[in-house]
Every structure is written in C-alpha cells, then in structure tokens.
Amino acid sequence: MFKLERRYERSRYAGLLVTTGSLLAALLFCAVILALAGANPWQTYVAMVKGAFGGKYEFSETIVKAIPLMLCGLGVSVAFRMLFWNIGAEGQLAMGGFAASGVALFVPQAFPNLPSWLLLPLMVVAGFVAGALWGMIPALLKAYLKVNEIIVTLMMNYIAVLWVEYLFYGPWKDPKGYGFPGSALFTQAAWLPRWEGTRVHGGLIFAIVAAIAIWLILARTKWGYEIRVIGENPTAARYAGISLARNILLVMLISGGLAGLAGMAEVAGISHRLQKGLTVGYGFTAIIVAWLGKLNPGGVLVVAVLMAGLLVGGDQIQITMGLPASVASILQGSILFFMLGGAFLTDFRVRWVSRARLPAAPSLAKATPEE
C-alpha cells in the first residue's frame, strides 16, 4: 500500500524540481480536461500563450491585468510575512477606487482654482489612505481584541464591494450615462498617463516602486527585521521586546494601502470612472500570486505577470477557439493546487510498502496472548 513518510533531509534541487514538476502536472491535468471538452490541448495552450504574450498588443494587455495583481499581491504578501492573513485585498482595492473616484469627481468642482497637476497626487493619497483605513479595522480588532482576521477581512470585502456598487448604481450614477452603471467620466487631469498606443498606465510604476520599497524594508530596515522575526517566531519576538500590536497595525497600513492604490490605478488608468468591473477578483487572485511568488517582492511581480497572462490568454481562447474563459480559471486553480501539493511533497515522500515489510505487531507477544 502507499504510505506517506516525512522527509528529514531535503535534496538540494528539490525546490526547483518540484516547482517545474507541479507546473507540468497542472498542464497535463488540464490537458485531460480540455480533451474531454473536445478541444485539442496543445493548440489551446499555444493559443493561450500567443494570446497573452504573442505580440506587443497582447503583452501590453497582460501587463494591464498584471498591475492590480502586482499591487494587491505585494500588499497581501507583506501581511502574510507576518502571519497576518489578510484576504481582504478585494475590499481594500474597492475602497481605494472609491476614494480616488470621489476625489476625481468632486474636488475639481469644489476647488476650481486647484492646479490640475495636483489632482492625481491627491487621488493617489486618497486611494492609499482609504485602503489602509479599511485594512486598519481588522488590524485593530486583531491587535487589541484578538479577533480572527481571516473572517473579518473576508467579510469586509463584501461590504466594500457592495458599497461601491451602490454608489455607481445610485447616487454617483452618471445622469447622462444612458442608464449604464457607472459614474461620470473623470476630467482628463485625473487620468494616469499611458504608454504610447497601449492601455499600460502609470500604475506599473507604482507597482515597481512598491516592490523595491518592500524589498528594502524587509531586507534592510529595523522594521523589516521585526516583521521577519514575528513571522518566523512570534514568541521570540515578544521575548525580544518587539510589539506585536504595533506591527500588525503598521503592516496593515501598507498592505491595505497598496490594495487601495491598485483600486486607484484601475479607475484612473483604465476605466476613468467608477464603474462595474472594478472588482473582478484581483484581490483574491493576489493571494495566489503572493503565495506562488513565495512572498518575495520580485517573485510577486513575476508571478503576477504570469497569472495575468493566464487571464488574458483565457479570454483569447474564448474568442479564437470558442472555449469558455473558465478554462483559464480551471488552469489557475489547478496550478495552485499542484503547487501546494508539490510543496507537500518536498516535506513528505510517498512510498510503496509491501505488506510483508510492515513492522511486525509489537513484540509484546510473549507477555500478552495475542488477541
């Protein structure tokens, strides 16, 4: 029969081997599903890769989707580093988008003399602060009342998402929008600059700067050191006089703030209004991104692009091969599943043990008449 055995030693290349192995296994698994759905797996994969990375336009669309994944993924990963399970990036993103839209829609009216270059910085601050404050609620509850953050962050997603929906269906709805659910278009001053001929916007710069900053914080600062110590051994952190509560609050400011920034970048870089489609699950996919990126800022950026490629490629095969886009979701899910399974296999090995080799019943036989 098959048996699981803990590995007490790990081979040096286990990590790399397992990652590639898991990826291949996931592709193979999905190939079977594709075949069952009547599609040619190889062609489908080729179409997906082409659709996501095959040309300048395709690649630019992938980057567009990668931007919010990067920002949310970075935010989520700092919190995870400290064992604070923030799964509320989706809600924090929504609140960031809401606050940035509020600034874009109402500040120019209220302060007509405001220099127009100031509008975007104001939106950045508003987006970041709103996400951070939204993240602060579960952080305060956890730090001072020991309330489980998983539940709170998860539930607060729904509040935020529905609040935003209420706004663009209700009070903020554009009266000239022919009933379309969305706010009025922002003034041009509230638009993030774009790369020539693509939809890639300044949010990419935010993500790259954030990744570098987080790397610097973790590797080079006292605060990053505290985060690492807490994440690895909270008891030792307490023993060393590191305040857990203070760090939870600080980390969630960053974590929620980055997700909020993602929301700001979405409204200011892509839709130019608050509308349906702001919350399409980037905050949840970001959890996968953070995990597969091993919580490293660099890793998160790379994985975000690959995940975005999967999303864009999924849309593409819908068009070119007439397959449902959910194929991409299946692939995404199975990659995560196989990766986690693979991580398990670095710690355990599966072995075939024949019945004959099982250890004999305890050698107490002479003392006890066997039952």
Partner 1 sequence: MSIEPSHDQAAVRLVGITKRFPGVQANDGIDLDVRPGEIHALLGENGAGKSTLMNILSGFYQPDEGQILMDGKPVTFRSPRDAIAQGIGMVHQHFMLVDMLTVAENVTLGMESPRFVLNLPATERKIAELSQRYRLQVDPRARIWQLSVGEQQRVEIIKMLYRGAKILILDEPTAVLTPGEVTDLFAVLRQMVAEGTSVVFISHKLEEVLSISDRITVLRKGRVVATVEASAVTPVELARLMVGREVLFRAEKQALPPGEPLLQVVGLKAANDKGLLALNGVSLAVREREILGIAGVAGNGQKELAEVITGLRPSKEGQVMICSKDMTNCSPRQIIDRGVSHVPEDRLGMGLVPNLAISDNVVLKKYRRSPIARGPFLDRSSIDQFADGLIALYDIAAPGHSTAAKLLSGGNLQKTILAREISAEPKVLVAVHPTRGLDVGATEAVHRMLLEQRAHGAAILMLSEDLDELLALSDRIAVMHGGRVMGIVDAENASLDEIGLMMAGSLSQTAVEAGAALTEERG
The contact set with partner 1 (CB under 8 A) reads 3, 5-6, 8-9, 220-223, 225, 228-229, 232-233, 235-236, 238-243, 351, 353, 357-364, 367-368, 371
Buried b (16+ CB within 10 A) or exposed e, 102-121: bbbbebbeeeeeeeeeebbe
Q: Cβ distance 264 to 202 under 8 Å?
A: no
Please say which residue, 3 or 35, places its beta carbon nearer to partner 1.
3
Distance CA 101, CA 94 (A): 10
Residue whose CB is less far from partner 1, 236 or 319? 236
Q: Nearest distance from residue 87's CB to partner 1, in Å? A: 24
CA distance 189 to 209: 22
| 88 vs 231 by CB, closer to partner 1 | 231
Question: Closest distance between partner 1 and the C-beta of residue 338, in Å?
Answer: 25
Q: Least distance in Å: CB of 342 to partner 1?
A: 20
In the complex, minimum distance from the CB of residue 82 to partner 1, in angstroms, rounded to a whole number: 13
CA distances to 94, 123, 149 from 132, rounded to whole Å, are 12, 14, 15
Angle in degrees, CA 98, 89, 62, rounded to 5? 90
Are 137 and 152 spatial neighbours (Cβ–Cβ below 8 Å)? Answer: yes
What's the closest the beta carbon of residue 341 comes to partner 1, in angstroms?
20
As measured in angstroms, the least distance from the Cβ of 2 to partner 1 is 12
CA 144 to CA 108: how far, in whole Å? 40
Q: Which two tokens stand for residue 198?
A: 């693509």
The residue among 209 and 236 lying less far from partner 1, judged by its C-beta, is: 236
56 versus 222: smaller Cβ distance to partner 1: 222
CA distances to 12, 248, 339 from 348, rounded to whole Å, are 15, 33, 14
CB of 78 to partner 1, least distance (A): 16
**Beta strands per DSSP E along 44-100:** none
Residue with Cβ nearer partner 1 (113 or 368): 368
* Shortest reach from residue 146's CB to partner 1, in Å: 16
CB atoms within 10 A of CB 185: 17
DSSP 82: T
Q: Strand 2-6 relative to strand 348-352: parallel, antiparallel, unpaired?
A: antiparallel
Amino acid symbol at 262: A
Residue 37: strand, helix, or coil: coil
Q: Which of the 8 DSSP states describes residue 174?
A: -
Closer of 176 and 357 to partner 1 (Cβ): 357
Q: Which residue has the tokens 């929620």?
A: 256
The nearer residue to partner 1, 111 or 348, going by C-beta atoms, is: 348
Fill in the amino acid letter for 126. Answer: A
